[in-house]
Every structure is written in structure tokens, then in C-alpha cells.
Chain A
């Protein structure tokens, strides 16, 4: 067992079977995330962010290379194994919340546990605990249509967290939120990371959201381009991020 929660090596992803039409989206990507880290992935549109996330979240198969999550190589798994793996080891937060409108907040949060066959007796305390942690204990009996966008996203976070996954994958979680709710959600993620020790991989192109991370990987044209760490305040880090993004822009202008 490695101490890494995620280890990606020589990862390649091509679309299209025909050699002439082949499109190389990810080129020899390699990085790792340590347990308890909060890592952001940034890059311009078309850089391969979503593909990377899909491959890591086992929704898509890589063309070559290995991905190990919590010590398990996921690239050789079968469909059903992958589904089970996702349900046990990964937590998802999507841009458009993806809550089930026909279930109450409580049922939405409890779903991953019931899917794993956890006994009813154990489900309730877990839901209450996670809801308290995220400050949504008062809306448990409501339906998603009755709560605000910020609350929805926190419910989604609670659902991602309930089964104590090895890692949480967040795909533009602030994309549909206003700045106030976005800030509140990012603080929630930081809280999860710092106080509960959850490893988080955040994909975003909002520099402000990214500034909450501890480390940011930039990818461009399917390759890792740069890696920066947060050493001082969040403001400084935000400035660093903006500088790197500015570099991107000038580079692409010149090319």
C-alpha cells in the first residue's frame, strides 16, 4: 500500500479508432495525491480536465497507463467492479447538483449507504452526523425543489461524504452558484478537508474557488504544465493562480 490516495502514471487517452482521426486528449500524464490533500486541477477549455476526471472517476477507460486509487489499480476492472468501486471509494459533487428530486434530502444523503446494504439502524446516525457537519440538519425532510442552490450543493457534498470515501471528486461544484453560496461551499470543502481529513480533487476554472486548494495542477493540451503550492495566504495564492492563467493566455496568443 502506498500512502497516496491517488497515483496516476503514464496516463494516455485517445479518442477515435482510426489512426488519422485519432485525437490525443491526455498525453503521458503522471501525478499523485496524498491522503488528506486538497488538490485543484485547472486549465483552459479543451485542455483535458473533464477527460482526466472521467478517467479517474472510472466513468471512462484510459487508453494506456495506470491509475491507482487507495492502492487499487482501477484500469483493469470490469464494469460491475467499477460500479462497486465508485460506490465505495469515491464521492462525487457535480456542477448541476444531481440530486434526485423525487427523494427527500435525507433519502438523497442516505442513498449511497442503502446501496451498500448498510443496516437501517446505522444509516440514521451517519446521516445526522454528516448533516450536522455541513449545517443542513434542518432541511432533511424537504425535497430538493424546496431548497436553495447553495443548500442543494451542500446536500450533494453530504451525499459524497456519507460513505467515507477514499477521495471526493468535485467537478465545477461552484459553477451554478452565486458568489456568496460559492464561498460558503468552498469553506465547507475546506472544513471537510481540514477537520474530517477528506482527500479532495477539485476541477474548476474559477481561480477564486481554486484558491481554497493547497496545491494546483495546471494542464494544457493534455499535458501537465505546471504545479503550484499554497504557501502563504489565500489572497497571495489567488494572485499566483491568476499569474499562471495569464501565462496560458499569452502562450496561446503567441502560438
Chain B
């Protein structure tokens, strides 16, 4: 009988359960994706320079799990508010509380299990699609990394985690229903939400929230000065500051809006603003949390994408020239023909058993460009590319100063970084710069090296790759064994890129998961309060408010509720990206990408919420 009751009621409320099912499925699918990333050791090892990345993925899973708990409680409490009256009716008919709690328990668990199955299937699909898409974009293949979308370990973890969670929530829900009096349940919708605020408290709240946020922002902008301490300081000012904004500043703002007679007394505005004000006072904690998590999610996404797009700029700041081509072959020359070069200098050198000897005059005739890494430069952005002006008066220089004089700093940079005259290229041989007379004494064949810089490095990646492959053979001939990495800008670029691919991959997943869950928490919270509004809208209908006007009021009210945390979160991200300015040259590169992704996800949740809300509060006809 109990089973039949619960099944019929679930069929009746299919659409409402669909919402819960949808949210849960998303949560499970994302959790599964994360688990697949965290547990797929092959994948993590193949794509990150540091093993610590595994740890980061686990932290990601932990945070996700935490939000999921938060989310499931909101989602199930939403369903519960829809069912209260029905429960109360069973109780008035004489059903025992234990039966009711059993019924609730079974329903929550049932929905949980269905969503678990669908969620994992969708999760596998999502992981396949997104991983393929990202890996293609980031230039690495699934075969090479050993990334698998179906991973038994993560399936098991997901199932264990969620079953435990469902058991917990269904118990808590059952307990909550059991705790309530029948009368409370029957009159659940008649409860009035009435809150009064005192002026002094609001004033200090507003003042305090602004002060805290300003301090936090200042620290984030000047992060280089505060270092690790700054991260802690910023989080202990911005987090409470954000909550305070929602507790005092925004209600204060809406109250001020309401006091504007002309605005308030036009059309249905007084109702919309009244709704908004009361809503906001009930939702302060949720709105604050949503704003913070929008900031985190969007921040993770923006940082990931920003890292990725900064790789090229970073590589260009570390090395002024794009490639040093030793012993250029006709193939190399042909490859260079295809590029538009802004710098092309040819230097000569000889390699003997005593070491490598560059001709000083050929270097001084066309001094190379180098990045100016002087002391006192804190940000990579401040590094300027300059041509060396220092002369080399001594006849003989060597890199470590064992023979003749030691090379001056700028020339040392030029030789080791720009000309790539290093261990990678020449093995144990010592690098020298000598004048013409000494150069002629070296008994070895004269060779050429061409230093080039293209107009746009990233336009010629395949060409640089070809050049690099042939350089590796040259290096092999000098070192005497196969060389894995001959150095040079292209290689630095590739390793930086693979490091940032890991970051972007995680940033995007984390970001999407955060945004989706937060938006749906807001949605459920708004919808679980909708029951109390039914009567209000009915009354407005009766006194002759057009349906279109009610529609508009709903759209506006919910829009503002979605808008405030979005704005706060967005501003946090925009300011927060300043934190990375000491490692990222342009923290705001392509910021439109994560922001539009955010707007898309958040916007669709807004539309869904409006539709569901309308279905609850407005009459059908």
C-alpha cells in the first residue's frame, strides 16, 4: 500500500521530480568526471609537470563533494515543501508518522538511485565528449595519455559516495517531517515571512561590508607585496565582506529603491520590489554563497584559460628570439623562407675538443635582442626586450671565467638563452667568445648559426617544430648520444603549454561544476519559497492585474535575484585576476570566453527557474 501510494504520488508530481532528477544527474555526472580525472593516474602523470596535480584533483573532488551535499539538501527540501500538505493529509487520515517517514525515505532513495544510474551514464558520455574536445584543443591524444572515459574505480567511488549521501539525506528528511506537527504541515503555505531591520545595524553593516571588500581588493591587486600572507588576508576580508553585502547592503539598496515614490508607485513595481526585499532577507546566506562560488568557479575557469593563452607571451618574455639554428641545412633555409622574419642574424663558431668558440666580431656586428631581466622587476609584464649595447673589450671570454674573463651578464643571457649555447646543445664543452686572432688559432671547421625571430611565433609552430627536430640531430652529433630536449624557445613553449593544459582542463571542469551547482542551488531555494507566493499572485489576478504584467514582474524579480550575486562574483573575479599578474602577463586575455560560458550556464538556469516558478504561482488557463 505504502509503495503504491508513493509511486502514484511520484507519477503525479513527475514534473517536479524531474527537476530534482535533473539537478542530481548533473551533480553525479560532474562528480564522475572529476573522479575520472583524479583517479586516472595515467592521465594525470602524462599531462602535468608536477605530481602534485593529483592532489589538486583530489581537492577538487572534495570541494565538489561538499557542494553536492549542500545541493542535495536544498534539492530535497524543495521537493519536501511541495509534498507537505499531502503528508499532512495522510497523517490526518490516521497514517502513523513512522509510515510517513518510511514513505519519504523510500522516495528520496528511489529518486537517488535512478539519478545515479542516469548520472553515471551521462557522466561517461560527458567525459568522453569534453575530454576529446579539450584534448584536441590542447594537442594531446587520448591514446598517448591513457585517458579512459569508463573507469571502474571512479564508478565505484561515485556510487559509494552518492548512496551514502542519499541514505543520509533521506534520513534527515524523514526526521524533519517526523519532527513537525500535523497542523504546521497543513498550514505550511500560510506562514508569513516578516522581517524588520534596524537602521543603526544596517548602517554599520553597509559600512563594514564596503571596508572589508576594499581592503580585500587592495590586497589582491598588490598581491606581489603580500605574498602567501596576502592570500589568507584576502580570503578573511572578502568572504565575510561578501556575506555582509548581501545581509545589509543589498536590502538597504532595495529599500532605497522602494523609497523612490515615482519608481515604487508605477505599475506593479511596488509588488515586485516588495517581493524582492523580502526574498532577499530570506536568502542572504544563499546569495552570499552563490556569489562566492561564482567567483571561485569563474575564477578557476578564467585562470585556466588565461594561463593557456599566456603561454606564448610568457615564452616570448623569457626568450627574445624564436630559434637558434646551428649548421643550417638547405631544408632549414627552405623552412625559414616560409616565415616572415623580423630578426635574422648569422654568427660563426668553431667546435674543437677544447670547447666551443664563437667569433666576437660576428656577435658585436649584429648584437642580438635579449629580455631585460634586471633586479627589481617583480612582474613578468615589466620585462622589456632590448638589444645588447655592451661591448666586449677583452680578447677571450668564457662562460664560467676559467679561461680569459667571465662573460658579462647580458652576454651570458644572450649566449645561453638566445643562442642556446648550453649543455643541451654542446654537452660538456665549455662555451667561449673570442676575438679574430684567437678564433683563427682554433683548428676546426667554421660553422654557422642563424638566430631568427618571426613576426608571430604562434603562426609558425609547425615550422619551428621541424627546425627543432633537425636541431636535435645537430645536438646529438655534438653530445654523442640522442638528445631528448635540445632547449630553445619552441621546447620551452611546449613544456609551458602542457603544464597550463592541465590547469585549463581542471579550471574549466571545476568552473562548470561550481557554476551549475550554484545556479541550481539558487533555483531550488527560490522555488521552495514559491509555495507562499501562490496566494499573492492569485489575489493580484483577482484585482485585475494582467497576466502579462505578472509575467513581467516574475521575470524582473528573479532577474534581480540572479543578477546581484552574478555582479558581485564577477567583480571579485575581475579584481581577483590581478593576483596572477606576477606570473601572467595579461591576466585578462580572452576573459570573454569564460564570462560568456558563465552567462550561458547561469542564464539558462535563470530561464528554467522563471518557467518553473511561473508554473507554480500562476494559474494554468
Chain A residues with a Cβ under 8 A of chain B: 57, 59, 79-80, 82-88, 90, 92, 94, 98, 100-103, 107, 110-115, 117, 120, 123-124, 143, 145-146, 159
Q: List 28 A-B contacts (CB under 8 A).
A: A59-B542, A80-B546, A80-B548, A83-B541, A83-B547, A86-B542, A86-B544, A87-B543, A90-B544, A101-B193, A101-B194, A102-B274, A102-B536, A103-B274, A107-B264, A107-B270, A110-B265, A111-B270, A112-B544, A114-B265, A115-B268, A115-B543, A115-B544, A115-B545, A115-B549, A117-B267, A123-B265, A146-B194
Contact A120 B543 (CB under 8 A): no
Q: Which residue of B lies closest to A171 (CB)?
A: B542
What 4 A-B pairs come out closest when comparing CB atoms? A87-B544, A86-B544, A102-B274, A145-B194
Q: Report which of B262, B274, B546 forms a contact with A120, defined as CB distance below 8 A.
A: B262
Not counting A92-B543, A107-B264, a sample of 20 additional A-B residue pairs whose C-beta atoms are within 8 angstroms of each other reads A79-B547, A86-B543, A86-B544, A87-B544, A88-B544, A98-B539, A100-B271, A100-B536, A101-B192, A101-B194, A102-B271, A102-B536, A103-B271, A103-B274, A110-B270, A114-B270, A117-B267, A123-B265, A145-B192, A145-B194
Residues of chain A lying within 8 A (CB to CB) of residue B193: 101-102
Which residues of the partner chain A approach B275 to less than 8 Å between Cβ atoms?
102
| B269 within 8 Å of A (CB atoms) | yes
Verify A100–B545 contact, CB threshold 8 A. no
Q: Which of B522-547 contact A (CB under 8 A)?
A: 535-536, 539-547
Question: How far is A143 from B274 in the complex, measured between Cα atoms in Å?
Answer: 11
Is B309 located at the chain interface by the 8 A CB criterion?
A: no
Chain A residues with Cβ under 8 A from B536's Cβ?
100, 102
Q: Quick check: is B266 within 8 A (CB to CB) of the other chain?
A: yes
Are A100 and B539 CB-contacts (below 8 A) given A87-B545, A145-B194?
A: yes
For residue B582, CB closer than 8 A to chain A, the reply is no
Instruction: Answer whether A107 and B274 are a contact pair too, CB < 8 Å, given A98-B539, A101-B193.
Output: yes
Chain A residues with Cβ under 8 A from B360's Cβ? none
B278 interface residue (CB < 8 Å to A)? yes
Residues of A close to B270: CB separation below 8 A: 103, 107, 110-111, 114
B265–A57 CB distance below 8 A: no
Q: Is the CB of B264 within 8 A of A83?
A: no
The smallest C-beta distance from A253 to any residue of chain B, in angstroms, reads 31
Partner of B194, one of A57, A114, A143, A159: A143
What is the bound-complex CA distance between A125 and B275, given in angstroms?
Answer: 25
**A114 B543 Cβ-Cβ under 8 A:** no
B residues 235-294 near A (Cβ < 8 Å) are 261-262, 264-271, 274-275, 277-278
Indicate if the CB atoms of B265 and A120 lie closer than 8 Å: yes
B544 x A84 contact (CB < 8 A):
yes
Q: How far is the CA of A107 from the CA of B263 in the complex (A)?
A: 12
Closest Cβ neighbor of B261 among chain A residues: A120
| CB of B267 to closest CB in A, whole Å | 6
Q: How far is the CB of A79 from chain B (nearest CB, A)?
A: 7
Residues of A with C-beta under 8 A to B262: 120
Q: How distant is the Cα of A59 from the Cα of B547 in the complex, in angstroms? A: 13
* Bound complex: CA A146 to CA B601 (Å): 41
- Interface-central residue, A94, A111, A113, A120, by most chain B CB under 10 Å: A111
Interface set of B (CB-CB < 8 Å, partner A): 192-194, 261-262, 264-271, 274-275, 277-278, 535-536, 539-549
- Find the A residue at minimum CB distance from B549: A115
Q: Given A98-B539, A107-B264, A114-B265, is A83 in contact with B545 using a C-beta cutoff of 8 Å?
A: yes
Contact B544 A85 (CB under 8 A): yes
Given A100-B274, A101-B192, A101-B193, answer yes or no on A92-B542 (Cβ-Cβ < 8 Å): yes
Q: In the docked arrangement, what's the CA distance between A59 and B278, Å? A: 29
Q: Please, which residue of chain B has its CB at the minimum distance from the CB of A117?
A: B267
Q: Enumerate chain B residues within 8 angstroms of A110, measured Cβ to Cβ.
A: 265, 270
Complex-state Cα separation, A57 to B538, whole angstroms? 14
Q: Tell me the bound Cα distance from A124 to B265 in angstroms.
A: 10
Cα distance A90–B545 in the bound complex, in angstroms: 12
Q: Shortest CB–CB separation between residue B357 and chain A, in angstroms?
A: 86
Q: In whole angstroms, how far apart are the Cα atoms of A113 and B543 in the complex?
A: 11
**Pairwise interchain contact B542-A98, C-beta atoms closer than 8 A:** yes
State in angstroms the CA–CA spacing of A102 and B265 once bound together: 15
Docked CA distance A170–B261 (Å): 30
Given contacts A145-B192, A145-B194, contact A114 B542 (CB under 8 A): no
**A83: B residues at CB distance < 8 A:** 541, 544-547
Bound-complex Cα distance A100 to B272 (A): 11
User: A residues within 8 A CB of B541?
Assistant: 59, 83
Residues from chain A with Cβ under 8 Å of B266 in the complex: 114, 117, 120
Residue of B at shortest CB range from A54?
B542
Residue of B nearest to A100 (CB): B536
CB-based nearest B residue for A96: B535
Contact residues in B for A145 (Cβ distance below 8 Å): 192, 194
Which residues of chain A come closer than 8 Å to B278, judged between CB atoms? 101-102
How far does the alpha carbon of A193 sit from the alpha carbon of B546 in the complex, in Å? 29
A115 to B544, CA, bound (A): 9
Which of A80, A94, A146 is within 8 Å of B547, CB to CB? A80
Distance of A89 from chain B, by nearest CB (Å): 9
Bound Cα distance from A103 to B265, whole angstroms: 12
Q: Could you say which residues of chain A place their CB within 8 Å of the CB of B547?
A: 79-80, 83
Residues of chain B lying within 8 A (CB to CB) of residue A111: 270-271, 543
Shortest Cβ distance from residue A176 to the other chain B in the assembled complex, whole angstroms:
12
Closest to B536 in A: A100
* B contact residues around A90 at 8 Å (CB): 544
A28 → B minimal CB distance (Å): 26
- In the bound complex, residues from chain B placing their C-beta under 8 Å from that of A102 are 193, 271, 274-275, 277-278, 536
C-alpha gap A103/B540 in the complex (Å) = 13
Task: Say which residue of A86, A92, A98, A107 sits within 8 Å of B535 (CB atoms).
Answer: A98
User: Which residues of chain A come closer than 8 Å to B277, judged between CB atoms?
Assistant: 102
- CA distance in complex: A113, B544 (Å): 12
Which residue on B lies nearest to A101, using beta carbons? B192
For A159, list chain B residues within 8 Å (CB).
543
Q: Which residues of A contact B543 (CB under 8 A)?
A: 86-87, 92, 111-112, 115, 159
Given contacts A86-B543, A98-B542, A115 and B274 within 8 Å (CB-CB): no
CA of A117 to CA of B265, assembled, Å: 8
Bound-complex Cα distance A82 to B542 (A): 10
List A contacts of B540 (CB < 8 A).
100
Cα–Cα, bound, A162→B483 (Å):
91
Give Cα A41 to B370, complex, Å.
Answer: 97
Given A101-B194, A107-B274, A143-B194; A114-B544 close (CB under 8 Å): no
State the Cβ distance, A2 to closest chain B Cβ, in Å.
Answer: 23
**Chain A contacts of B546 at CB under 8 A?**
80, 83-84
- Write out the residue numbers on chain A whose beta carbons fall within 8 Å of the beta carbon of B542: 57, 59, 86, 92, 94, 98
Q: For residue A124, which residues in chain B have a CB less than 8 angstroms away from its CB?
A: 261
CB distance from B532 to the nearest CB of A (A): 9
Q: List B contacts of A117 (CB < 8 A).
A: 266-267
Question: Which A residue sits closest to B258, measured CB to CB?
Answer: A107
User: CA–CA, A124 to B545, complex, Å?
Assistant: 21
CB of B186 to closest CB in A, whole Å: 15
Name the B residues within 8 Å of A79 (CB-CB). Answer: 547
- Residue numbers in B under 8 Å from A92 (CB-CB): 542-543
Closest chain-A Cβ to B564's Cβ sits at a distance in Å of 18
List the A residue with the shortest CB-CB distance to B277: A102
Which residues of A have CB within 8 Å of B264? Answer: 107, 114
Are B267's CB and A114's CB within 8 A?
yes
Identity of the chain B residue whose Cβ is nearest the Cβ of A145 in the assembled complex? B194
> How far is it, in angstroms, between the C-alpha of A80 and the C-alpha of B546 when the chains are bound?
6
Q: How far in angstroms is the closest Cβ of chain B from A223? A: 26
B residues near A84, Cβ cutoff 8 Å: 544, 546
Report the bound CA distance from A33 to B612 in whole Å: 43
Give complex CA distance A195, B536 in Å. Answer: 31
Which residue on chain A has the smallest CB distance to residue B269?
A114
